[in-house]
Amino acid sequence: MTLPPSTQPHDTAPTVPADVVVVGSLNMDLVVRTPRLPQPGETLTGHGFTTTAGGKGANQAVALARLGTATAMVGCVGDDDYGHALRDGLEREGIHCQGIRRCGEQPTGVAVIQVDDDSRNSIVVTPGSNGELTPADVEGCDALLASARLVICQLETPLATVRHALERARHHGCLTLLNAAPAMSLPRDLLALVDWLVVNESEAAALSGQTVTHPDEAARAVQCLRKAGCRQVLITLGAQGVVAAVDDRLHHYAARPVTAMDTTAAGDTFVGAFAAALSRGEGIEAAIRYGQAAAAIAVTRAGAQASIPRHDEILPPAHS
């Protein structure tokens, strides 16, 4: 007998362990290209529309998988066409998807994205089924977390679920990475569960209470967030690079100069590539550089997951 989708249990425990488990969101992205971002109350005529797979959690999982990391996803989709398409797409990438639950009570999450001719974007997310991901879902994938080296979370799913995932990861001795997006304030006891905090300017400002617009301000925010309990903090500044504390010293890593086309998944690509490098034992600085190289490629392409590069695009084959 098959249970209704909203109560369908996770599949049996995985037979192949994952190096990295991503607990997070899956969205279908509805992307409109516009000459510029509209003002409130203004109607513009766009010049392009696409429907592409997205969601911060799923984007990061795809980046990991394309960069050669054994990856599993824990999330929740609706029992609808978008949900089936998103899970099928992740499976084609080689991502372990037994931790993705179907929810019959909410539709799959959707993001409406406007991208202007200067490659700036504005995004409105309707969480849908992402809001139904519960601590019980994490418990159902506990064996999966126990097999991992690193567990990654974002903030597009309920905070109680994020906390539980970080707690279970710590219980199993896994490293934890929190991409604290979208921007919001977080309690110190949750930040204390984070080994790697990765945030952009607005997210760093929301967490630290400080203005973050350039590397010097980012450096002060890094110090503030480490005092709040995070072990390591990386602040991504787009074209201004990355500011991070490495070996208790602050460093600024300049960005690669590129002509950007679409920055939609740049941050997720950085997170996935950074985590992929860490999971295979590379040092912090090498992992940051690898993340920057991957993101630099992603911004030159349109779409979220469609823009994410593969490892051989970042580093040439060994025999070449």
Residue 49 class from Cβ within 10 Å (0-12 exposed, 13-18 middle, 19+ buried)?
exposed
Q: Is the pLDDT of residue 73 over 80?
A: yes
Output the six-digit token pair for 278: 């860490």
What integer is the mean pLDDT of 148-158?
A: 97
Between 95-99, 128-132, 158-162, 262-266, the lowest mean confidence (pLDDT) is in 262-266
Contact residues for 46 (Cβ-Cβ < 8 A; gap 6+): 32, 33, 34
Residue 296 has pLDDT above 80, yes or no: yes
Q: Does residue 56 sit in helix, strand or coil? A: helix
Mean pLDDT, to the nearest integer, of 32-60? 93
| pLDDT score for 16 | 58
- Does pLDDT of 319 surpass 90? no
- pLDDT at residue 264, as a whole number: 74
Closest of 297, 302, 288 to residue 254, by C-alpha = 288
The reported pLDDT for the residue numbered 316 is 54
**Mean per-residue pLDDT, 219-236:** 91
Q: CA-CA distance, 19 to 14, in Å (whole number)?
A: 12
27 vs 301, higher pLDDT = 27
Q: Which residues contact 125 (CB under 8 A, 6 or more apart)?
A: 27, 109, 110, 111, 112, 156, 182
Catalytic residues: 268
Handedness of CA 303, 305, 310, 311 (dihedral sign): positive
Distance of CA 62 to the CA centre of its chain: 10
pLDDT for the residue numbered 81: 96
pLDDT in tens, 178-226: 999 999 999 999 999 999 999 999 999 999 999 999 999 999 999 999 9
Tell me the β-bridge partners of 269.
none
Q: What is the pTM of this model?
A: 0.89
